[in-house]
Amino acid sequence: MIKRGLAVAGFLVLTSCGGGVGGGPPSNITVFAAASLQPAFDKIAARVKSQYYLATTFNYAGTQTLTTQLIQGAQADVFASADTAHMTTVQNGGLVGGTTSVFAHNKLEIAVERGNPKRIHSLADLARSGLVVVLADPSVPAGKYAQEALANAHVTVHPASLEPQVTGVLSKVALGEADAGIVYVSDIVTSGKVDGIAIPDAENVIADYSIARLNSAWNRAGADEFFAYVLSSQGQAILSGAGFETV
């Protein structure tokens, strides 16, 4: 059973005439997706309604949490991971029912309060005394990538907290509970509540997002349609608008 505290669930009833027959009940899919995908995937689901008679339940959480839930038997039709490592874990567990595909890339950026009052301009600045810095936990893809970027920059940071998903880092900076954090470029683009400080490519890390239909899928046709839309030109345009790099 999925613990409510571990995910933000959204239920969108999609009402086009695409996949339903005779006005009957809609088809349903459940999508487990990395928390950083929520703004883009909510828009993709809204677009899908113009093509398919489909209802989508989203379980947004840290990729490591979703992976654990799936390994423990949670039912879902589609899994979208913020890395390929957790997708490999799910695949090695015999849970992937079709092919896996990388559908987007993301980079890291430093999130700071609006106006950047602490004058933070680089990863090196995060080591300054007196700054409150938060990071995602290293078990989360965003936390693992942040550790890699800091190592690339030869910077040591002592975070005030390690958040279970990247949206927690973003929230603490937006609320003024932290001076800075390391998040994804897409988080900065879609938040509107923080400013972003670019990280040079030599220090940055590329996140590869992957997607697959699962063996536990109750609606394989609907899962395949969602999968295909994410990889379509329309889905890729939505991801690009949300700050992702497309494939």
Tens of pLDDT along 128-167? 999 999 999 999 999 999 999 999 999 999 999 999 999 9
The pLDDT, as a whole number, for residue 171 is: 96
Cα 111 from Cα 68, distance rounded (Å): 28
User: What is the C-alpha to C-alpha distance for residues 244 and 239, in angstroms, rounded to an integer?
Assistant: 5
| Residues in Cβ contact with 77 at an 8 Å cutoff, skipping those fewer than 6 apart | 29, 30, 31, 213, 214, 216, 217, 218, 219, 220, 222, 223, 226
- What is the phi-psi region of residue 89: left when phi exceeds 0, alpha when psi lies from -120 to 50, beta otherwise? alpha
Other C-beta atoms lying within 10 Å of the C-beta of residue 84: 16
Q: Which one is predicted more confidently, 69 or 19?
A: 69
Confidence of residue 69 (pLDDT cuts 50, 70, 90): very high
* CATH fold for domain 108-198: D-Maltodextrin-Binding Protein; domain 2 (3.40.190)
| Whether domain 4-105+208-246 has CATH 3.30.465.10 | no
SS3 167: helix
d(CA 80, CA 134): 25
pLDDT of residue 66: 97
What's the rounded mean pLDDT across residues 201-212?
98
The order of strands in the sheet holding 245-246 is: 8-13, 54-61, 27-34, 78-81, 207-214, 96-106, 245-246
Q: Tell me what the pLDDT averaged over the chain comes to.
A: 89
CATH 3.40.190.10 boundaries in the chain: 4-105+208-246, 108-198
Give the pLDDT confidence score for residue 3 in this predicted structure: 34
Q: What is the bridge-based pairing of β-strands 161-163 and 133-136?
A: parallel
Residue 19 has pLDDT above 50, yes or no: no
Longest dimension (CA), the chain: 66
